[in-house]
Amino acid sequence: MQDIKIDYTNIMAPAIGKANGLIEENFTALSFRADKIHDDLVSRRKSGDKPFYDLPYKIKEAKELIKAASTIKKNFSNMVVLGIGGSALGTTAMLTALGRPMHNFVSSRKRGGVRLFVADNIDPDEFGALLSTLKLKDTVFNVVSKSGSTAETMSQFMIVLDLLKNKLGRGWKKHLILTTDAKEGILREIADTYRLKTFVVPDGVGGRFTAFTPVCLLPAASAGIDILGMLKGAARMDERCRTGDLRKNPAYLFASIHYLQDTLKGKKMTVMMPYSYRLKDVADWFRQLWAESLGKARDIDGNPVHAGQTPIKALGATDQHSQVQLYVEGPFDKLFCLLEVESFKTEMPIPEPFEDQPGISYLGGQSLNRLIAVEKDGTEYALTTNNRPNMTIKLPEVSAHTLGQLLYMLEVATAFAGGLYRVDAFDQPGVEFGKQYAYAMMGRAGYEKKKAEYESGKSKKRLVV
């Protein structure tokens, strides 16, 4: 199995100049702090404080999920995941990367599993259309919430529960699987009361770090995805990330580049741009991971810092025709991470029907594979020539093994970046403001004072055109 690699040539000053590029001394100056952060993370891992590190080795649990998925595939044609944020994005990334293209539109034999739908939003038009399209008798709903108090997910669950009871009668229970806390929370209480099938979100693993837990692995396995291959890939990346050497540890290198470009060169935004449809939702997953982990008002000592980079999602070659103009000639405030796939699963030759048209005939006899590779190189060249820092993560192919490596590397990079920024990468206090507002305005018990506070704080006069 081949390793993924990071080419960071175009991050450095020799490629893009000293104004925007890093020099070796920048990494050297960071080494002492990096060693301390590494030692702290290793210690916390050994103490069990950061259990996400050891998820790639939960092979027994993964095999149990595969067994459960086999039963699901025998009994149902469709699975709908009810979840949001970390309870949804990893699953979507895995399905897009490792499922068949147009997974939900091909036969069950070609899919190798259920049709998988991730209902990660509460837009009533979208959710209503999904429910009205699926045959309930052929559908299982996987409700994912560690606390069971996530307003969006639980509102969906309540709608689905009512629908199942009304349409299917006594058999409604077999159409529900709950993924939640082992002992506590509203969803656990509901599961125990109704004796519903459950899977456990491991203690100490926050939502955005749950890619290698039942949160994502159960629906992925049900869709026919090789979850053992992903875990093996993640374990391989873990081997590479055991060293504290910034230049040998891919995750630490990725984090250090981002931190140095942010703090020394003013790159407050980071653009992840896969040149692969299969990897487009990895960029979506990464946005939550990076933003929610590092975007903090205060550091670990309580000092105001307002840290974090804004992660942006792009897709090559599509966004060469929508965003790259800005990236090449706009403000010098962005760092770019291109994702390159060296070997696609499909070879797509271009025919030669227009030999008398020199404006397009040159394309004939070549392939889309060659064209997308050249276009990625062209974007890299344009960025570099215009002194824009960019690096490329190279995947030999998109497979369970390489995806496992990539996701795990980005998780470890995020944990390490938290140390560099001196923020807690594992909490999300800013998210709670919006949650509490929703609780109060929707009438949750115990939030009456909050509701009064919010209503009194609203501007009495709205400025609307």
Give the catalytic positions in this structure. Answer: 292, 321, 435
Dihedral angle at the C-alpha atoms of 207, 208, 211, 214, nearest 10 degrees? 0
Q: 423 to each of 52, 263, 295, 307, how far by Cα in Å?
A: 18, 14, 9, 8
Q: Edge-to-edge, what's the strand order for the sheet holding 176-180? A: 115-119, 78-82, 139-144, 176-180, 197-200
Cβ contact 388:328 at 8 Å: yes
Specify the residue for token string 């984090």.
255
- Give the closest residue to 233 by CA, choosing from 463, 3, 439, 10: 3
The DSSP code for 201 is P
Measured distance CA(122)–CA(430) in Å, rounded: 20
Cβ contact 101:277 at 8 Å: yes
Helix orientation angle between 24-46 and 400-421, rounded to the nearest 10 degrees? 100
Structure tokens at 47: 């103490």
